[in-house]
Structure 1
Amino acid sequence: MKLSTNQSWLMDNGKVVYGPVPITHGRKGYATPPGSFRVQFKNKNHKSSIFNNAPMPWSVFFNGGIAFHQGSLREKSHGCIHLSPAAAQKFFGSLAVGDVVEVVR
């Protein structure tokens, strides 16, 4: 994903297979860190244990508590990557534990 353009996409063997799709990411004080990560786990009906049980549907965690998930495309997050409902479901269905996630500025 590219934070500076608020876009993300799915790739397979170096080719874009879905996207780019719009995203929002971490607000001031909760920046989404750039780097290369691996998908750690997935949870279709996750609720935040840190932010008042906030719903995080279609969560794909790749950096500790940071995940792709369905969320507002108008408001910035607490570090997660917000996707539209359709994109969140596509990312959830396409990404597997161990897959590489690249976050660039």
Structure 2
Amino acid sequence: MNLVKFGFLVLVFSILGPHFSKAAVDVRVDLTNQRMTVTSDDGVVHQWVISSGRSTHRTPTGRYRAQWLDRTHRSSRYQNAPMPYSVFFRGNYAIHGTNQVRALGQPASHGCIRLHTANAAKLFALVQKHGLRQTSITISGGVKGKVSNNRLASAKTVPGKAKVTSGAPHDAPAQKAPGYGLRLDGAGAGPPYAG
């Protein structure tokens, strides 16, 4: 009987284990404070101001893996709006750069998570380096409205510490993976939005 239980546990771990293992890139989004913290196995720490979905187009909460990357994506839903350095995590939802930097620090998107384009480029490069399946994205909190006047803040790569500075984007080729992302908390998918 114990052998059967052991075999069952080995089977479950072999199927689910890779999905719950520690990610090489850990992205944590706090919707309440409109902030993102990014850490990686390289010791990279970033803390950035974001812009999430408005009350009519909420950003989904939960834990996800990155699905696919597109350096020069344009929205098919919202007038071909540019979404540079997109990291898609659930259907049409993505973390991406924006040219609407004055809106950073407050909810303003159609559900996506917007970053200063320089910061989106840094995240894109980290995800590309470590891989889609090694990137965990956790989104929590609720939207309260404008919370920051420090809208253009970005973080410099500093092992173990985050410092607010400015930065410029760099080029990286697009990478796409077939299929859909895995939502790790087991909740179902809702209507997709981009923007």
TM-score, normalization: structure 2?
0.50
Q: 1:7 maps to what in 2?
A: 35
Aligned partner of 1:18 among 45, 48, 59:
45
Query: What are the equivalent positions in structure 2 for 1:4-83 lying under 5 Å apart?
Result: 4-13=32-41, 17-71=44-98, 72-73=100-101, 74=103, 76-83=108-115
Distance, in Å, in 2 between the alignment partners of 1:28 and 1:39 is 24
Contiguous gaps of at least 5 residues in structure 2: 1-28, 142-195
* Unaligned residue ranges in structure 1 (runs of 5+): none
The Cα offsets for residues 5-55 of structure 1, whole Å up to 9 and x where unpaired, read as 111021225x97232100000012110011000100000000001111111
- Segment drifting more, 66-75 vs 80-89: 66-75
SS in 2 for 1:102: strand
Root-mean-square deviation (CA), in Å? 1.6
> Percent identity between the aligned chains?
34
Alignment partners' CA distance in 1, 2:32 and 2:44: 21
Q: Which protein is richer in helix relative to its size?
A: 2
Structure 1 CA distance for aligned equivalents of residues 43 and 34 of structure 2: 16
Inter-partner Cα distance in structure 1 for 2:43 and 2:60: 22
Higher strand share: 1
What amino acid does structure 2 have at the position aligned with 1:80? C
Task: Work out the CA distance in 1 between the residues paired with 2:81 and 2:115.
Answer: 15
How far apart, CA to CA, are the structure 1 residues paired with 2:78 and 2:55? 16
Identify the range of structure 1 (65-74 vs 76-85) with the bigger mean alpha-carbon deviation. 65-74
Consecutive aligned runs of 4 or more in structure 1 exceeding 6 Å deviation: none
Matched, 1:89 2:121: yes
Inter-partner Cα distance in structure 1 for 2:84 and 2:40: 24
Question: What is the distance in 2 between the residues matched to 1:89 and 1:52?
Answer: 23
